[in-house]
Structure formats: structure tokens, C-alpha cells
Amino acid sequence: MLKRISVSDLCVGMYVDEFCGSWMDHPFWRARFVVDNEVDLKRIQDSGVSEVWIDAAKGLDVDAAISIVEKREDADAQIEKRLKHVAAGTITKAQRRAREESELEHATKVLADSRKVVVNLFSEARLGSLRDTDEAANVVDNIADSVARHPTAMIGLARLKSADDYTFMHSVAVCALMVALSRTLGLDEERIRIAGMAGLLHDLGKAQIPLSVLNKPGTLDDEEWKTMRSHPERGYQILREAHGVTPSALDAVLHHHEKVDGSGYPHRLSAEQIPQLTKMTTVCDVYDAITSNRPYKDGWQPTVALRKMTEWADGHFDDTIFKAFVKTVGIYPVGSLVRLQSQRLAVVVDHNPAHLLQPTVKAFFSLRSKMHIPPTLVRLGKASSGDRIVSFEDPAAHGLTGLDEIWAPKAHVA
């Protein structure tokens, strides 16, 4: 049985099934293990994680005297309730943007061009300084224009990055998410551009982190973990004299790993001490990080990631910003696998900002016949579709791979 407990109640002999936080919050990038020594126990308790899920069937159970214990099924029910509550607050028609079929192709080119600029930025950052951000500003403008035309295309494609390309394309993806989130929050054009710049530059300090630490497949030791957690301050030092980087963007670079409960780093700021733009960067950074494949870990499916973030939301994220983020990417983000009432499996290809539970999907597999069927576009928001989503699904449980090819068959960022 899975139970969520405070790390203060964790003890040697318990089996950790999952950390309640992204793998950026702790040095144990491969979860699911027995805590078999006091050293690892202390490292978990000293990390930025406040709760963990334990499996009582594989290790010691929690003391019966501890009353604050949550079971997995109860937590899942609460997550569904919270997401549906967000879906009830729909975005008005006036906030919708035109959808253009050609935008997938255009967004692919924008991403490829952006990657080249980010590679150059990181190369300069390795030398310890960055004076000119004009090229970065041009990238932000191009991404912002693409998001304005078709948010789903840019956000969805930015997630499709190779593990080896993660460091560069993560910056581009967070930029796109920041721009889209800014529009959901109703920020003006100048603040949208500043948000995009913060997203593009937020991880620049990683240029000075050794690749042996960035891509290490196993647990980081104490010194490596300290080095990894230094990247916000390194990025701040690189950019503090740079032309075109506003104080609010600089703060996002320095504090994007802070949490509203005060358990983040590097300065353990509390909610009221963290500016709006920085809180936005935190949400966008975590989402892209946990949905992306890394050299040491495969990313979660978008729908799974969103539910995990909902579970952590109270301590990690600002509530207003997180709700706006859910509206931005949808309850079922692009690329999610879902089961329809018609007993078909489908991939989400676009979300409906006015009705978050009714995205546009592409059905491709019949659960009745256990066979692939010709891909069919289904607009669940239309009464004529006669269908609805009954659950999100794990592709691995159905032996399915290559789902991204269904919604973006020609997408490739070289």
C-alpha cells in the first residue's frame, strides 16, 4: 500500500516509492529504493523534499501513532477534484488565438533557429560573462509571435527534445511556456517579452556545471549536489552586467528554485518574498523538466506530470499562477494519451482553452479490436462528436511508442 508521509517520519527500512517533488529537488534521481542507511536518510531529510510516498508492502510501515498519512487513492481523487475545479473557470472566447495548420512547420523552424542562438549563449556563458543579449531578444520575439498565432504548436513541439539536447532546448521550451502563461495572466506585451527572456536565460548558469554532474546517471554525492544547486547563482553572476536583462528577469534566474513554503534554494525565500515573474518561471521550469527525456531519466507523460504538480502545488507553487498554468497547457496537455468513451485510444493534439476537459484529439487505436485504426480527428467540444474522455492512459501499459508522431509527424528540430 502506498502512503504519503513527511520526511521527518521516514526511517531506515522504509521503501521510498516516489518523492513528492521533481527530481531537481533532491540528489536521488532514481527513486524507488529501500532506505538502508542513516546517511541516505539524512540526505533525504536535508533535501528540498518535504514528503515522500512509501510502499508498506516492500518495506517498513509508518508508525500507527502518526495520524497524518494519506493513501494513494485518496490523493488521486483529490487531484482530480482540484483539476476539475480549475477547468470550471474557463477562458473567454476573446482570449482565444487563431489556429493555423502551417504553424507546426513554422514553429519547428523557429525552434531550430532558437537552438543555435542558445548554443552560442551557453558558449559565451562558459567563459564567465555575457554582454550582448540582442540575439536572445530576437529569439523571444520570434517565439512570442508563434505563441500568439498558435500556442499549442510551439509549446507542444518545444517538449519534443532529445535527451542529449536537453540543456539547450529546455531554455527554449521554458521561454515558450513563459510567454503563453503571461498571455493567460493578461500581462502586457512588454512584460510578456521580459517573461520570455527570463525563461530563455533562467538556466544559463548550467553552462558552468561539469557535464559529468549535469548528466550523471546515478545519485549525486554531496559535493556534486552542491555544485548542481549553484547554477542559479552562477547564472546571476554571468548576467548581472548584461545589457537588456531587467532586474525582474535577473531575479528569476537567481530564484527560480525557490518555493512558496520557504524550502527552496538558494535563499529559502517565502511566498511574499518571491516576485510574480519568478513564481511563473518556477512552474514553467518544473513542467518542462519533468516531461523531458534526460540522459539519466525518461520524462513523464504530460498528463502525469500535471497531476504530480497538482499534488505538490501547495508547497511548491503560487496557487493563482499554477491555476493559470493549467489553463495554459490544458488539463490534458498536447501529446497526452487518453481513453475515449467510444473505447478508442487517442492522442491530444490541441487543447480547448474555453473547455479544458474537451480538447481536440486524434483517435488511432480500438480497444475493442485491439488494433490500430486510421487516425481520426475528434473535436470533443463539438456536440456532433458524441464522445468524451473517460481517463488518461499510460502508453507503456498498452505497449505504445511514438505517440508524438501522431500529432506532429513532420516535427524535427535539428
Domain boundaries, the chain: 2-68, 93-329, 337-407
The predicted model scores a pTM of 0.83
CA–CA dist 189, 104 (Å, integer): 23
pLDDT tens, N- to C-terminus, the chain (414 residues): 788 888 888 999 999 988 887 766 777 766 688 999 998 898 888 877 888 889 988 999 987 656 556 677 777 777 777 776 776 655 444 444 444 456 678 888 999 999 999 999 999 999 887 877 899 999 999 999 999 888 888 888 888 888 778 989 999 999 999 999 999 999 999 999 999 999 999 999 999 999 999 988 888 899 999 999 999 999 999 999 888 899 999 999 999 999 999 999 999 999 999 999 999 999 999 999 999 988 778 888 899 999 999 988 888 999 999 999 999 998 899 889 999 999 999 999 988 877 888 899 999 999 999 999 999 999 997 877 789 999 989 898 899 888 888 877 655 443
Cis status, amide bond into 266, omega within 30 of 0: yes
Q: What is the C-alpha to C-alpha distance for residues 220 and 18, in angstroms, rounded to an integer?
A: 17
143, 154 contact by CB (below 8 A)? yes
Which superfamily is assigned to 93-329 in CATH? Hypothetical protein af1432 (1.10.3210.10)
Contact 160, 411 (CB under 8 A): yes
